């Protein structure tokens, strides 16, 4: 996970103001309702906030982890 955060930090560019610094916080959403009933694993989300304007994007960490091999391709798509 640390690798993913580093990669995002290195490539981050705010889509709103163009700032290149971000603050990343990872939060776990514990299962509620149906997901708890079916014992689905916790979902982890990364909140990536622009340090200049505060715009925040949320990424599903589980999805990014699943693409570890091609992570840089995906980040190229996100931040070009």
Q: From 6-14, 23-31, 32-40, 65-73, give the range in contact with Zn ion by CB under 5 A.
A: 6-14
CB 57 within 8 A of CB 48: yes
User: Segment 26-65, which members bind Zn ion (CB under 5 A)?
Assistant: 50, 52-53, 55
Q: How many residues bind Zn ion (CB under 5 A)?
A: 8
Taking CB under 5 A as the criterion, the residue among 4, 8, 14, 75 binding Zn ion is 14
The H or E element spanning position 73 is helix 71-79
**Minimum CB–partner distance for residue 64 and Zn ion (Å):** 21
Annotate 35-70 with three-state secondary structure. HHHCCCCCEEEEEEEECCCCCEEEEEHHHHHHCHHH
Give me the residues that bind Zn ion (CB under 5 A), please.
14, 16-17, 19, 50, 52-53, 55
């Amino acid at each position: 996970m640390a690798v993913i955060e580093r990669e995002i930090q290195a490539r981050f560019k705010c889509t709103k103001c163009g700032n290149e610094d971000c603050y990343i916080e990872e939060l776990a959403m514990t299962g509620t309702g149906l997901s708890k009933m079916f014992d689905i694993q916790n979902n982890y989300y990364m909140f990536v906030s622009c340090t200049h304007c505060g715009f925040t994007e949320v990424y599903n960490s589980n999805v990014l982890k699943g693409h570890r091999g091609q992570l840089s391709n995906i980040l190229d798509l996100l931040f070009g």
